Amino acid sequence: MTGFLPGMIDRQDVIIRVTLRSVAHGGNLGAIAPQRTLMRLLITVSFLVVAVIHLLPLPGVLGNSQLATLYGVEISDPNLAILLRHRAVLFGLLGTGCAIAAFVPSWQNAMLIAAGISTVSFLLLAVTTGGYNTALTRVVTADIVAIVCLALAAVLRVLAARGR
């Protein structure tokens, strides 16, 4: 029986769509759900990795000794201490947002943009300035990992939106 009202889907249409979907997945209709589940899992893990990376500077808010440990520099200027401690707070917010985005898809685009801008801008500053110490080399390495995770999450979100 075909649909008797415009826009209604009849049984034959459903069978055709399911069959086409099955063919697109190698004839294995059961492959669709696990593939989407794997994509969601990888997106979640990617955001959690980025969250952890951005939460690592948070102890810097506690004071100069924590900042010295994080960045390998002595902080003797109180103005610099204030700026770096505030930076730690901002990274705490960014990391928290990424952790939320891991489980709340409506947050993901905004956090991809925010974390992406933050991470890429730091890498550009580090590369164009150069001469940074071993502690900042670790930060650069962590930010490269974060960029890879953000890129993976972005690609997977696009593929998921396209129904792949």
Which among 8, 134, 114 is positioned nearest to 54, based on CA atoms? Answer: 114
Determine the Cα–Cα distance for residues 8 and 18; give it in Å rounded to an integer. 16
pLDDT digits (tens, 9 = 90+) for 143-156: 999 999 999 999 99
Instruction: Give, for 124, the enclosing helix (H) or strand (E).
Output: helix 108-129
pLDDT digits (tens, 9 = 90+) for 109-128: 999 999 999 999 999 999 99
pLDDT digits (tens, 9 = 90+) for 27-43: 555 555 677 789 999 99
Give the pTM: 0.77
Domain ranges in the chain are 11-50+92-161
pLDDT digits (tens, 9 = 90+) for 44-85: 999 999 999 999 999 999 999 999 999 999 999 999 999 999
Q: Looking at residue 163, what is its pLDDT?
A: 79
